[in-house]
């Protein structure tokens, strides 16, 4: 039993917890995020053997060390197979736009966004854990667009779960909102909160830090603050890298990034042995991460609404996990910096630390004008339509090449995180046409909406949850 991975809080309040406890807790009781106390690793020989595995079998192999002994190997394999059965013949297709430059399409799940790859797994993981304990749970999450629809789709109809999703009022695309609000099943609630995403996220965190409310409602999280939400996202880094030449070749990944969860999964893949030479962080005009990687100062500013609403974020919650590693797992220092950020809106790391992380990370800002131009140029050059978030990742690749940070001598994989049909007006503004919608999306857009508009007050959200949850 002692050989299995256990988990600790980035702020020191909880340590040596099991996978099951971390899954159901979501956020640590001290407000920190859970991290494994050790990293599993795969050798060059291991990676070569993985090349022939299907997506679901690869997922099972990568996730197994983090989950055992809670589930046996066969159970993990069955969950992975069920999770990705509906994602099509090629679960995560790679499109080569030009030599050594690929788009990794992560929009082949039920809600046409990369969040499906994790959320479909997470809902099954929750169901097993709650059934074993004979318990119910209230799941609370904030969304800047895609997490909410993926979560509501994955958890709807579950008898032992009530799910509440907070989304920023009038700050998600029409399609993103409809994918959340067409769902009309018991226990599934979409709340339009009169604030931005960071305001929604703050309410979620405050609910978890109210330990009386957390315990009374059996509260858990589905945002990437939940460690198990991050785990399945590691898989597509391995899957795509192995298909373009790893482990013999190092690979560059470019990731459109707001909350830092998706790119952190790439960093974890590198910790586990995948030969990644660089992770490129693409930010929109809300460029808190780009500014950080340039200066070492994380400083919050006001959010500027953009054509890439899922990235309209100024509090990148998952960065705390990287900060924990930057600080050599000094939980007191992490706690101090997180408190500074909450009170003063900023914290900083030293220049030696910055230099060290910049050996792996590079960051670029792509604003709205750039985004439209990238969509247009990619369509003209390659007859390929990028959604506005994916365009930021691909645009960051061009900037990195221009600055000679990377070259296309090695494989470059740019993550496409959403189907372009989710942002039809932005695509039309760029190239003059509306992308074709999948049939299921057309059907959803004709449905009636079911949601509540609510003021951005912790008290009102907690009252709504308490009143609406099934006993």
Residue spans per domain, the chain: 94-111+228-431
Question: In this structure, how many other beta carbons lie within 10 angstroms of the beta carbon of residue 44?
Answer: 11
Q: Which residues contact 214 (CB under 8 A, 6 or more apart)?
A: 29, 207, 208
Confidence tier at 100 by pLDDT (50, 70, 90): very high
pLDDT digits (tens, 9 = 90+) for 164-176: 999 999 999 999 9
1: pLDDT strictly greater than 60: no
Instruction: Enter the pTM of the model.
Output: 0.95
In the chain, the percentage of residues whose pLDDT exceeds 90 is 96
Closest by CA position to 139, among listed 124, 151, 147: 151
- The span from the CA of 150 to the CA of 133, in Å, is 25
Closest by CA position to 33, among listed 290, 237, 277, 335: 335
Please tell me the predicted confidence (pLDDT) of residue 89. 87
At the topology level, CATH places domain 94-111+228-431 in Rossmann fold (3.40.50)
pLDDT digits (tens, 9 = 90+) for 344-373: 999 999 999 999 999 999 999 999 999 999
274: pLDDT strictly greater than 60: yes
Please tell me the predicted confidence (pLDDT) of residue 471. 79
Q: How many residues does the chain have?
A: 471
Give yes or no: 115 in active site: yes
pLDDT digits (tens, 9 = 90+) for 250-272: 999 999 999 999 999 999 999 99
**Chain-wide mean pLDDT for the chain?**
96
Both tokens of residue 347?
């914290």
Tokens 């910096």 correspond to 337
Please tell me the predicted confidence (pLDDT) of residue 410. 93
Query: Distance from CA of residue 93 to its chain's centroid?
Result: 19
Q: Which one of 21, 98, 115, 270 is the catalytic residue?
A: 115
- Which helix (H) or strand (E) is 427 found in, with range? helix 424-431
pLDDT digits (tens, 9 = 90+) for 201-211: 999 999 999 99
- The span from the CA of 212 to the CA of 219, in Å, is 10
In 3-state terms, what secondary structure has residue 37?
coil
Both tokens of residue 152?
């509501």
- The span from the CA of 444 to the CA of 442, in Å, is 5
Contact present, 390 and 383 (Cβ < 8 Å)? no
- The span from the CA of 165 to the CA of 170, in Å, is 15
pLDDT digits (tens, 9 = 90+) for 126-142: 999 999 999 999 999 99
Tell me the β-bridge partners of 161.
137
Please tell me the predicted confidence (pLDDT) of residue 2. 59
Contact present, 191 and 461 (Cβ < 8 Å)? yes
Tell me the β-bridge partners of 253.
279, 413
Contact present, 434 and 424 (Cβ < 8 Å)? yes
Contact present, 245 and 113 (Cβ < 8 Å)? no
Which stretches of 341-468 are assigned E, i.e. beta strand? 346-348, 361-365, 412-416, 452-454
In the chain, the percentage of residues whose pLDDT exceeds 70 is 100
Please tell me the predicted confidence (pLDDT) of residue 144. 87
- Which helix (H) or strand (E) is 5 found in, with range? none
pLDDT digits (tens, 9 = 90+) for 305-339: 999 999 999 999 999 999 999 999 999 999 999 99
pLDDT digits (tens, 9 = 90+) for 418-453: 999 999 999 999 999 999 999 999 999 999 999 999
- The span from the CA of 9 to the CA of 245, in Å, is 36
- The span from the CA of 184 to the CA of 191, in Å, is 13
Please tell me the predicted confidence (pLDDT) of residue 145. 82
């Amino acid at each position: 039993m002692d050989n299995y991975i256990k988990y600790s809080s980035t702020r020191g309040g909880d340590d040596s917890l099991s996978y099951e406890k971390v899954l159901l807790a979501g956020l640590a009781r001290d407000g920190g995020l859970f991290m494994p106390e050790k990293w599993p690793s795969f050798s060059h020989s291991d990676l070569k053997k993985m090349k022939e595995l299907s997506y679901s079998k690869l997922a099972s192999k990568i996730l197994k060390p983090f989950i055992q002994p809670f589930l046996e190997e066969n159970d993990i394999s069955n969950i992975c197979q069920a999770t990705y059965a509906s994602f099509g013949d090629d679960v995560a297709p790679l499109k080569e736009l030009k030599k050594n430059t690929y788009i990794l399409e992560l929009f082949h799940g039920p809600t046409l966004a990369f969040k499906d790859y994790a959320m479909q797994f997470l809902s099954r993981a929750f169901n097993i854990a709650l059934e074993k304990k004979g318990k119910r749970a209230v799941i609370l999450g904030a969304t800047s667009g895609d997490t909410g629809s993926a979560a509501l789709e994955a958890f709807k109809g579950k008898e032992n779960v009530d799910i509440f999703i907070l989304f920023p009022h009038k700050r998600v695309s029409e399609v993103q909102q409809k994918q959340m609000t067409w769902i009309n099943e018991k226990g599934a609630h979409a709340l339009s909160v009169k604030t931005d995403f960071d305001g929604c996220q703050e309410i979620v965190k405050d609910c978890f830090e109210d330990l009386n409310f957390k315990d009374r409602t059996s509260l858990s999280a589905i945002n990437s603050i939940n460690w198990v939400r991050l785990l399945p996202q590691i898989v597509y880094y391995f899957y795509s890298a192995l298909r373009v030449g790893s482990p013999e070749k190092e690979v560059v990944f470019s990731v459109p990034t707001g909350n830092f969860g998706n790119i952190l999964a790439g960093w974890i893949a590198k910790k586990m042995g995948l030969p990644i030479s660089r992770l490129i962080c693409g930010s929109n005009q809300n460029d808190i991460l780009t500014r950080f990687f340039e200066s070492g100062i994380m400083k919050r500013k006001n959010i500027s609404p953009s054509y890439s609403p899922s990235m309209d974020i100024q509090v990148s919650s998952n960065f705390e996990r990287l900060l924990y590693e930057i600080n050599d797992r000094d939980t007191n220092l992490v706690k101090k910096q997180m408190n500074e950020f909450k009170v003063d809106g900023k914290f900083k790391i030293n220049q030696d630390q910055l230099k060290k992380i910049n050996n792996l990370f590079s960051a670029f800002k792509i604003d709205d004008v750039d985004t439209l131009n990238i969509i247009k140029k990619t369509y003209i050059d390659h007859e390929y339509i990028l959604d506005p978030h994916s365009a930021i990742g691909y645009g960051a690749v061009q900037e990195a090449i221009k600055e000679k940070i990377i070259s296309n001598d090695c494989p470059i994989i740019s993550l496409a995180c959403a189907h372009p049909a989710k942002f039809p007006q932005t695509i039309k503004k760029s190239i003059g046409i509306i992308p074709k919608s999948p049939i299921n999306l057309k059907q959803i857009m004709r449905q009636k909406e079911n949601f509540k508009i609510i003021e951005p007050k912790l008290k009102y959200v907690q009252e709504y949850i308490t009143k609406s949850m099934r006993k």
